[in-house]
Amino acid sequence: MAINILFFPLYTLQTLSTLYPLHPLPLPSIAYLCALMEKRRSVAFHTLGCKLNFSETSTLSRMLENDGFEKRAFEDVADVYVINTCSVTDNADKECRQIVRRIQRKAPESLVVITGCYAQLKPKEISEIPGVDLVLGAAEKFNIGSHLRELTKGDSAKISSCDIEEVSGFTASYSVNDRTRTFLKVQDGCDYSCSFCTIPMARGKSRSDSIANVVKNAEKLAADGVKEIVLTGVNLGDFGKGPDGNASSSIYDRPENFYELIQELDKVEGIERYRISSIEPNLLTNDIIAFVANSSKFMPHFHVPLQSGSNTLLGTMRRRYKRELYAERVALIKELMPHCAIGVDVIVGFPGETDELFKETFDFLHSLDVSYLHVFTYSERANTRALDITPVVPVHVRHERNKSLRNLSFMKMQYFTQQHAGQTRKVLFEDHNKNGMMEGYTDNYIRISTPYREEWANNIVDWTV
């Protein structure tokens, strides 16, 4: 019987070598060791927040599986639970605490590891949550395997973190939950200083993968049968700064950029669709828009953060554009791609947002030919400049404004869908049977639901909207 000693603890191997230095293992010991082999440590993951977090969780999962861990569903009992956190809003922090409490009730002897943005921003606060055993900051999350080898339940929570200024390096990540759609991380960190945002404090300076390595990962995903790649990052349009945050050199001995990246990805055989997850309006160049308009692989779908339709608020938010530039970007997209979907991020209730300034935002969004809104209610975040801005908007007013814009978003999406009624568009259906139904998205991001058909799963189908 072949025995893989890589699975055995060091003390077991040392004992065996002492007892049996020159002889084969007796049969009882072989049976015992086989039993040890079968008892692999199990790990379960839970992800909060953005697509970037999902890509990183998937990478952490693959790393631990390669270390011999058995992956389990988060609802199951596991030896280790890893929570990859977000901290964009206060709700994300609260949700993390609630999840830890659920784990404590379900599996009090299991190890609980917290990583992600919340872990970098407030490691001491997290370490004081009952049940938490390990807190990994931005520089250590991809070293999770070595930390787990040294971790014991019952000790006080261990914090492994550093000042965010010291964080450098780039770890490529991608999700592989199914073959239909993969989130591929190509950029991390942000050099901007928006007054409401904690992301630069949580993820560090802007840094990127190389074009060559992104293409290599795309080719690997294509070989695995992936049909659609969603490019993700914190500030995606800032792609081109190397792992140390400085401009990286291409094969042409000059800095790389996002426009060059999408040109090279367009050549990868096997990937049928790309989407750009989100890109700042000041970094969404005319060249990028024109390239997507003429590409058969990059989908007619942009998600462009706005945050406010008031130039006054854009200034206090420390955004790097005015509403006029945003309107120009939308107009060019619609000129070149009338069928293109455009999503918008917007914040309501930011300090200083009077009724008049909110109306500016509402009217501006109402006038734009955009397809849907992602509406965020402003919440106070520690160590941000926005805390010094007045007057503070009452919480109930923030929620009323959120509801108002969500209603506008619903109407925008209804109108956008109706514009394409009767058209035949390409739909990539997902391989999920949800109570006899399956879902997919058209090239321009209209969601389609239909009775499940196995032959359509992970395939692109002509569909009349």
Domain, as residue range, for 27: 1-39
In a shared domain, residues 415 and 457: no
Residue 35 has pLDDT above 70, yes or no: no
Q: Residue 97 — pLDDT band, cuts 50, 70, 90? A: confident
Better-predicted residue by pLDDT, 27 or 312 = 312
Q: What is the CATH number of the domain that holds 92?
A: 3.40.50.2300
**The last residue of a domain, from among 106, 131, 162:** 162
Written as six digits, the tokens of 382 are 């520690």
What CA–CA distance (Å, rounded) separates 148 from 265?
36
In a shared domain, residues 345 and 357: yes
In a shared domain, residues 25 and 127: no
Better-predicted residue by pLDDT, 334 or 160 = 334
In a shared domain, residues 152 and 52: yes
Q: Residue 168 — pLDDT band, cuts 50, 70, 90? A: confident
In a shared domain, residues 116 and 209: no
pLDDT digits (tens, 9 = 90+) for 314-334: 999 999 999 999 999 999 999
- 3-state SS record for 151-163: CCCCCCCEEECCC
Q: What is the CATH number of the domain that holds 231?
A: 3.80.30.20
In a shared domain, residues 157 and 198: no
Residue 200 main-chain phi, psi, to 5 deg: -60, -35
In a shared domain, residues 130 and 209: no
pLDDT digits (tens, 9 = 90+) for 208-264: 999 999 999 999 999 999 999 999 999 999 999 878 777 665 544 568 999 999 999
In a shared domain, residues 154 and 185: no
Task: Provide the percentage of residues in the chain whose pLDDT is more than 70.
Answer: 88
In a shared domain, residues 4 and 62: no
Q: Domain count for the chain, please give it.
A: 4
The whole-chain average pLDDT of the chain stands at 89
pLDDT in the model for residue 246: 76
Mean per-residue pLDDT, 287-306: 98
In a shared domain, residues 270 and 155: no
pLDDT in the model for residue 255: 82
In a shared domain, residues 305 and 187: yes
Mean per-residue pLDDT, 4-18: 40
Mean per-residue pLDDT, 384-406: 97
In a shared domain, residues 290 and 373: yes
**The last residue of a domain, from among 162, 180, 196:** 162
Mean per-residue pLDDT, 278-286: 98
pLDDT in the model for residue 179: 66
**The last residue of a domain, from among 116, 142, 162:** 162
Query: Which of these ranges, 230-244, 259-273, 275-289, 299-313, has the smallest mean pLDDT?
Result: 230-244
